[in-house]
Amino acid sequence: MHARLTELFAQHFGAPPVEIGELRADGSDRKLFRLTAGDGRTAIGVENSDQDENAAFIGFSRHFRAASLPVPEIYAEDRGAGVYLEEDLGDTTLFEMLQKERGAAPEVPAAIAAIYVQSVRLLARMQIQAGPGLDYRLCYPHSDFDRRSMSWDLNYFKYYFLKLAHIPFHEQKLENDFDALCGFLLQAPADFFLYRDFQSRNIMVRDGQPWFIDYQGGRHGALPYDLASLLLDAKANLPFDFRDQLKAQYLEAASALTRIDRASFEEFYRGFSLIRLLQAMGAYGYRGFYERKTHFLQSVPYAIRNLERLLQDGGLPVALPALTEALQRIVASTRLREIAPVSAGLGVRIESFSYQQGYPVDASGHGGGFVFDCRALPNPGREARFAGLTGRDPEVVTWLQQYVEVGQFLDRIRGLLEPTLENYQKRHFTHLAVAFGCTGGRHRSVYCAEALAQSLRGRPGITVEGHHRETDRWPAPADTPSQGT
C-alpha cells in the first residue's frame, strides 16, 4: 500500500516523497504515515481496510471543510485500495500542549485556556450550523446515538469495567437502571451532529489554533454529549471552575445559533456526562484489564474523580439506585484509586452550615469527612451590628481574631487534618469533605471555613472549593442576633 500512497502524493505534489515515516495511531487499527517531499512539504497518509470508516472520515472532512471549520483537507484518495492522503496538522495535540505547559500546576495556562475556549465555540458551530446538509448515510458504525448505541456503551461499562474490576452489582436491577437512563436521555433534542469523541487528544494545535480530527464516528445526537466528552477528559484533569467557564462559553455560542433552554440543557448535561463517563471507563477496562495495556488504567483514578463530582453536584438526573450503588462502590475503592501511579489531585470541599438546618450531605460516595462544631467559640451573632454581615466581612473577621481561643481552635483542626491530607494524597484519594457548623451558619462557621480554605490554597496537589450553605438565605430573620449564630 505504500506504493499507492506514494503515487497519490506524487499526483498531488508533483513529485514523490523522499521520506515516509510511520506515526503512532492510539486506539485505532489505522496505519498513519508522514510523507515528506524534497522541498519540505508534508502530508499524512492513511492505510485502513475499513471502507466504511474511511468513507465517513473523508465525507465528513469535505463537508466541514466547505463550512470553513478547522478540519484537515483531503488531498487524494483511493477507496478501493483503502488509502487516502490528508493535510498534515503537525504533531501537537491539545492534550500534549496542556501537559507540557501546565506541568504539575492545577491551573490551565492562559494560552491553553484560550484554545479550549475556541474549541468549544467551534464545536457549537460544527454541531448546529454545519450539521444540516451532512450526509448521515456515511455515519459509521451507526447513524444515530439512539437507544441501541446507548445500550452498547452501558453494557461495555458493565462487562469490561464492573465485571473485570470485580465491582458487585445486581444484574437485572442494573439493566432496569440502564433502561431508565436511556429513556431519560432520549428525551433530549437530538437533531444535531454528535462528534462522539470530542476530547483533547483529537484536537490538534497548529499556529496557536485548534484543528479537529477523528470525527468519523459522528452521528445524529444531542448537544451536551460532546461538551461532556471534552470537559470530562480524564487525564486532562481540568479544574472544575474552568469546566464551568467553558460550559458558559459553549452555551453562549450555541445560543446564538439555536434556541437553548438552559435549565433543560443542564439536566441533560448531567445525564450525558454520566453515560460518557461510563463509556470511557468501559474503554479503560477493555484496554487495561482485558488487553493488558496497563497505561489505559492510568485514567481510572481521574475517572473516579469525575464520578465523585457528578454524584456531588446534584446527583444523577433520574433515580438509578442500582447504578448509584455500583458507582459509590467504585468511588470508595482504594484498590481502583491506587491502580496506577497518578496525581489526580486532592479536592477539599470546605462548607459552612447551620445546625438548625441539619447536617450537610456529602453525595460524593464517601459518606464521610470531618464536621467541626464552632458553637463553643465567641459569638458575633449576639451583637446587632453584625446581623447583616457574615464571617467573610472584615468587621466580623477582626472581631473573631481578637480571641485567642478562635486561633487555637483552628490550629488544632489543622493538626488533626494533616495526617489525613498526607494519607489521602499518598493513596490517590481525590475528595475530602470538611464542614464547620454553628447555630445560624453565618458567622463563626463561615469564618472558620474561610480561614481553613486560605491555609490550604496553594498547597501542592490540593485544590480547595468552598461553599457556605446558609448565606444564600439573606435577609436574616429579625430575631437572628438574639439567637446567636
- Provide the 10 A C-beta neighbour count for residue 187: 12
Q: What is the CATH number of the domain that holds 172?
A: 3.90.1200.10
> What range defines the domain where residue 363 resides?
346-483
Distance between CA atoms of 189 and 249, rounded to whole angstroms?
20
Of the candidates 338, 329, 313, which has an alpha carbon nearest to the alpha carbon of residue 430?
A: 338
In this structure, the answer to whether residues 211 and 276 fall within a common structural domain is yes
Cell of 121: 465555540
470 in the same domain as 403: yes
Is 113:107 a contact under the CB 8 Å cutoff? Answer: no
Phi, psi of 127 (to 5 degrees): -70, -45
Question: Which runs of E-coded beta strand occur in 87-213?
Answer: 192-194, 203-206, 209-212
Name the CA radius of gyration of the chain, rounded: 26
pLDDT at 425: 84
Answer with the one of 86, 106, 135 that is the final residue of a domain: 86
| Full pLDDT tens readout for the chain, 485 residues | 589 999 999 999 999 999 999 998 765 678 999 999 999 999 999 999 999 999 999 999 999 999 999 999 999 999 999 999 999 999 999 999 999 998 777 789 999 999 999 999 999 999 999 888 999 999 988 899 999 999 999 999 999 999 999 999 999 999 999 999 999 999 999 999 999 999 999 999 999 999 999 999 999 999 999 999 999 999 899 998 899 999 999 999 999 999 999 999 999 999 999 999 999 999 999 999 999 888 899 899 899 989 988 988 777 889 999 999 999 999 888 889 888 766 667 889 999 999 999 998 766 656 668 999 999 999 999 999 998 899 999 999 999 999 999 999 999 999 999 999 988 888 777 789 999 999 999 999 999 999 999 999 888 888 898 889 998 644 443 333 333 44
> Of 485, 484, 345, nearest to 421 (Cα)?
345
Residue 144, SS3 per DSSP: strand
Cα atoms found within 13 Å of the Cα of residue 58, Cβ hemisphere only: 21
- Beta bridge partners, 44, equal 34, 86
Residues 119 and 58 in one domain: no
Last-in-domain residue among 319, 337, 355: 337
Count Cα atoms within 13 angstroms, Cβ side, for 381: 28
Q: What is the pLDDT of residue 401?
A: 96
Residue 1: Cβ within 10 Å count: 16
CATH label of the domain that carries residue 21: 3.30.200.20
Same domain, 351 and 300: no
Same domain, 269 and 382: no
Judge if the upstream peptide bond of residue 460 is cis by omega within 30 degrees of 0: no
Grid cell 444540516 — which residue? Answer: 132
pLDDT given at position 420: 93
Cβ-contact 356, 437 below 8 angstroms: no
How many Å apart are CA 79 and CA 76, to the nearest integer? 10
Could you tell me if 137 and 229 lie in one domain? yes
Q: What is the DSSP letter of 383?
A: S
Using CB atoms within 10 Å of the CB of residue 193, give its burial: 0 to 12 exposed, 13 to 18 middle, 19+ buried.
buried
Q: Identify the domain boundary among 22, 51, 86.
A: 86
Give the DSSP letter string of 317-371.
SS--HHHHHHHHHHHT-HHHHTSS-----EEEEEEEEEGGG-----TTSS---EE
**Same domain, residue pair 317 and 384:** no
Query: What is the Cα–Cα distance from 453 to 449, expressed in whole angstroms?
Result: 6
Claim to verify: residue 131 and residue 184 sit in the same structural domain: yes
Looking at the fold, whether 134 and 81 belong to one and the same domain comes out as no
The answer to whether residues 316 and 423 belong to one domain is no
Same domain, 352 and 331: no
How many structural domains is the chain composed of? 3
| Same domain flag for 147 and 283 | yes
